[in-house]
Structure 1
Amino acid sequence: MIFPERFRGKVMVVTGAAQGIGFGVAARACAEGADVLLADRAEFTPDVAAEIAANGPGRAVAAVADLETHAGAATALRAAQEAFGGVDILVTCVGGAIRMRPYAEFTPPQIEAEIRRSLMPTLWACHAALPHLRSRGGGTIVNVSSNATRGIHRVPYSAAKGGVNALTAALAMEVAGENIRVVAAAPGGTEAPPRRVPRNPDGDSAQERAWMAEAVAQVTGSTMMGRYGSLREQVGPILFLASEDASYITASTLVVAGGDTG
């Protein structure tokens, strides 16, 4: 369901916007009037922004940046400032388990890679956004976490998303007096089109595919609804949290996982 003009006059930065939940958030926000900066390291991000802008009524531009670095996050926020004159809303969607395997099977570099992918982009984006939100007299940050803070074969990813939840609560307490809300949505398993950029560029072995199948079975078995959610079912709650309808909600993580609270 589209709410026309819900974000009219608002500038929204969406990280990880080239595909998946991030793309869905950016496209619907633009359809609801927001001017949207799509930030992603994928080289095709400008094409995605052009596709979204063609459907309006909001504007959409892209910033190709490595959001696993503070420099990349700062670049994205500056691009929004330059394109639209400020930032009102940040939605952080970068993340996702690179590998699924028992914890003992992860190597130390693989553990560090999971933390870089699923925690650091949120930390960096929140830090880079604060000066921009303060200059507008306030704003909103919506961090996309996960209900997979409990689950098999993804302990480093679970730890990273637990960190996102803690960041959300602590930062919300710190900046509430500045008219800045910080909230999170925690999606469960979500059906999405095939990724244009692979989750694991090294490819998955037969053993890894088996471990992944076990994790998928655990996810669907844990949810009361017995299924994955859809992109639409994730985008709607995220944009509710970003909207004025949620103006008295901060420091909270909304689990959107068919009853599986993680």
Structure 2
Amino acid sequence: METPKRFEGKVAIVTASTQGIGLAIAERLGLEGASVVISSRKQQNVDAAAEQLRAKGIQVLGVVCHVSSAQQRKNLIDKTVQKYGKIDVVVSNAAANPSVDAILQTKDSVLDKLWEINVKATILLLKDAVPHLQKGSSVVIISSIAGFNPPPSLAMYGVTKTALLGLTKALAAEMAPNTRVNCVAPGFVPTNFASFITSNDAVKKELEEKTLLGRLGTTEDMGAAAAFLASDDAAYITERPL
């Protein structure tokens, strides 16, 4: 089946996009014709991912960006606008999970880091991006299944992902009608980020048995969901999690 070209002439920024779900989203948008701007904290990871995408015929700009840095967020937007002149899609994917402690045992510094990266960075990145967003633009925020019912081992991480569900609703109202805002809430997807769960065969099998489809999601599944929400096929959808 031929990949549709829903993003020809469009520019898409994807944060934390040199591996896992972020890279899969960037690849899907790029294969559909977007000029994609990828980023992560390390230059070597950005370079490797950019090379991987270019080998597939994708137009890509790689920029180092730690989303908790105001200067690096601004640089990400500035470099995008300098090269392409506009922004059509922003996918906010960056997240951290530095602790598996119970919420009331979590250190103040860890609480700050979770808030800064998982929630606040999305808001601040969009503040920088807004002047350059086109009419009909789209924002896709990556939450998590943990946001609906935070599990004990991921409790505070889950709470930050719950906050993103509320942020999606609030921003959808604030940015309408020119920009749609939606959310993807992945389940357990085998990536480096989730390896502590998915690399354990017994745990993986238990999770698979709990799903209606009898399998875990893939990064490609997440890329397809994000691409749908960002595309004009979802032109009448805003404020919704998938």
Report the TM-score, using the length of structure 2 for normalisation.
0.87
The match for 2:139 is 141
Q: Distance in 2 between matches of 1:217 and 1:103?
A: 28
CA deviation vs aligned residue, 1:190-218 (integer Å, no higher than 9, x gap): 012x46xxx8xxxxxxxxx79x9799798
Aligned partner of 1:235: which letter?
G
Aligned partner of 2:142: which letter?
V
Q: How many equivalent residue pairs? A: 237
CA deviation vs aligned residue, 1:38-84 (integer Å, no higher than 9, x gap): 1221222023112212322x410111021113332221111111111
The match for 1:50 is 51
Shift of residue 3 of structure 1?
2.1
Shift of residue 176 of structure 1?
0.8
Instruction: Give aligned-pair identity as a percent.
Output: 28
The match for 1:204 is none
Asked if residue 233 in structure 1 is aligned to residue 221 in structure 2, the reply is: yes
Aligned partner of 1:147: which letter?
I
Aligned partner of 2:223: which letter?
V
Unaligned runs of 5+ in 2: none
| Most deviating of 93-102 and 245-254 | 93-102
| Most deviating of 7-16 and 119-128 | 119-128
Aligned partner of 2:225: which letter?
P
CA deviation vs aligned residue, 1:2-56 (integer Å, no higher than 9, x gap): 6242211110001111111111111121111110111221222023112212322
Report the TM-score, using the length of structure 1 for normalisation.
0.81
Shift of residue 237 of structure 1?
0.7
Unaligned runs of 5+ in 1: 200-208, 255-262
> What secondary structure, in the 3-state scheme, does the structure 1 residue paired with 2:135 have?
coil
Q: CA RMSD in A?
A: 2.6
The match for 1:98 is 98
Q: Distance in 1 between matches of 2:174 and 2:26?
A: 27
The match for 1:260 is none
Q: Distance in 1 between matches of 2:78 and 2:206?
A: 41
Whether the aligned pair in 1 keeps the contact of 2:102 and 2:156 (CA below 8 Å) is no
